[in-house]
Amino acid sequence: MSLKSFVAATFVLLGGLWAPDSSWAQDEGLPDWERRPYQVRVSLAADARTLSPLQLASVREDLADLLWRTFGEHWTISFAPPPAALNRADAVGLNRLQPDDFPAPAVPPTEEEPNPVRPPDRWFVATVAASSDLTDPDRLTVAVREWDGTRRALGPVRTAAATGVPAAAQTAGRLIRDLFHPEYRVSPVIDAPVGSTEVRLAARAAALPVRDPAVDPLAPGPLLSVFLRLYNRDGSFRDLRETPYTFIRVGPVLDEEDPLRMQSGEVISALRSAVGRTRGRTQTLARPIHQDPGGTTLRLVARGTGGGGVEGSPLVGYRVLLADRRSLPSDLPPPKDGEERPEPEPYPEPFSDVSDRGGRIEVPIAPPVMPDEEPTPGLMWLHVYSGKAKLGALPYVAGEVPSDTLELDDDALRLGLEGEYALLAGEMLEVVASRAVLTARAKKAAKDKDYTAAEKRLEELAELPRAVSFQRRIDALAAGVRAEALESGDRLTAARTGKLAAKMRELAEAYLSSDPLAAAKEQVSELKALAEEVEERERRAAGRRGQR
């Protein structure tokens, strides 16, 4: 038995007390990360009516030479026929490709198969088709799509025009260069202070020479998206998970003498702990984001209402402010009595958009800037509001895909509770007005010596609901909504329900805590006593006049 088999058998017998490092299982027999070139497969397809076999071979040869002059040792390139599922050599055919049309993940080595076949890291499928412009017979349409074997995902189809067969290779090479996503390994900084957003980045093939500086992964500034690759105990691929609302801004190389060429990075995330230490069977990776000038159509949907090919329920009428910062001056609490705050520094006015009937908003690739500044593509913050309530602020980078979906907690429960509380507030207002009217009528009846009418008004006043009655209704409504929110996992709405209930209780206490009945009875009694005293004086005065 080999050492490898003995170690694996020992692990099974010990019941998993020791686990092999997934990087060992996955990377066994491979060069170190910084010296590991990308295994890239390229496929070129064209209809026979567009390119003859000789012309197709010429384009393939020119494309291979161009890719070598661009990526050099960073790539190990092999040309192969396109996937069998490609049923037409154009952009439409590329759009029809599915992830299952590409190779399965690598399997770990075994004693029977110590060197299993590894799928390519990237597979670029390029097509050359005749243009729809019939006035220019030499005009061709080149389309390219990237298969990312690390993420097990297909990228968008990119097209460009080429005039003549020789230009087709140049166009295809440019599209492949622009679609390529290098990989970074992400690790936290050891002994970093609490709240630090700094991480360390190791670019794959960073120690290999770069022929074209435009594809140098060590250039600072790009924005990266973060994802996790999870492995089984035997080192086989298990799952991939995107880290939502999390991005990394690439910084400079820390030490040029270090063969790893480690770089610094800044994490920008809506999560409290977006990048932390991972176990041996988990890799934290990142890839650059390529922003298309067209931006992204973002669809807001209720969380948990989609999946399985079913679109989520759209969130209509949600207001979104697109800003260049996480916190806005409007987010600050109102100043306390006597508190003076300095005037906020000038900042770019946020873009504002409201989700339409489909829950859609348009997100540009550049955040807002000051009037005298030039817009620069990059990260922006989405400040999402439902009515006057702010649901949160999320970082976002538009343009990587033409359309995207953003799942948010449905605010219908909170809005329904606010509607119920608005009705209660109206009832409380009516009670306050009725109190004033009945008290005034009782006093007027007492002044007119119509004590029967005054007593009747007092009885009506006694029947009006008190603050305690409204507070019970407030608590009952809040308890029902809170229970429903917790059942659906919406802790934010559950917390806001308590705050809304507390404000309504304070409102009821402020306007309905006094006892108008006692005050009205006292006033009517005083008026009655005064009237009786006046009558008594008048009788005495009349008696004295009669005696004279």
At residue 290, does pLDDT exceed 50? Answer: yes
What's the distance, CA 218 to chain centroid?
A: 28
Query: CA-to-CA distance for 163 and 108, rounded, in angstroms?
Result: 46
- pTM exceeds cut of 0.75: no
**Residue pLDDT, tens place only, 51-61:** 999 999 999 99
pLDDT given for residue 216 in this prediction: 86
Span 361-372, mean pLDDT? 92
Tell whether the model's pLDDT for residue 25 goes beyond 60: no
Q: What is the dihedral of CA 221, 223, 228, 229, to 10 degrees?
A: -70
Average pLDDT over residues 249-267: 87
- Mean predicted confidence (pLDDT) in 44-57: 92
Instruction: Identify which of 324, 336, 321 has the alpha carbon closest to the alpha carbon of residue 382.
Output: 321
DSSP 400: S
Identify the weakest region by mean pLDDT among 186-190, 287-291, 306-310, 417-421. Answer: 306-310
- The predicted pLDDT at position 19 comes to 35
Mean per-residue pLDDT for 399-425? 80
Q: Tell me, what's the pLDDT at 493?
A: 77
Residue that wins the pLDDT comparison between 158 and 415: 158
Mean per-residue pLDDT for 180-192? 89
Averaging pLDDT over each range in 346-360, 460-474, 497-511, which range is the top one? Answer: 346-360
| pLDDT-derived band at 325, boundaries 50, 70, 90 | very high
Region 404-423 average pLDDT: 77
Write the DSSP symbol of residue 314: B
Show the CA angle centred on residue 247, arms to residues 379 and 227, nearest 5°.
145
- Sequence-distant (6+) residues with CB within 8 A of 110 are 116
Average pLDDT over residues 123-132: 92
- The answer on pLDDT for 18 being more than 60 is no
The pair of three-digit structure tokens given for residue 458, joined into one six-digit string: 């007092």
Reported confidence tier of residue 309, pLDDT bands at 50, 70, 90: low
pLDDT of residue 484 exceeding 60? yes
Query: What is the pLDDT of the chain when averaged over all its residues?
Result: 82
What mean pLDDT comes out for the span 209-228? 87
pLDDT band at 379, cuts 50/70/90? very high
Query: pLDDT value at position 498?
Result: 83
The 10 Å Cβ neighbour count of residue 196 is 12
CA atoms within 13 A on the CB side of 154: 17
The pLDDT value recorded for residue 78 is 95
Q: Which residue has the higher pLDDT, 7 or 113?
A: 113
Measured distance CA(268)–CA(251) in Å, rounded:
13
Report pLDDT for 274: 72
Instruction: Flag whether pLDDT at 310 surpasses 80.
Output: no
Classify each residue of 392-431 as buried b or exposed e, where b means 16 or more C-beta atoms within 10 Å of its C-beta: ebbbbbbbbeeeeebbbbbbebbeebbebbeebeeebeeb
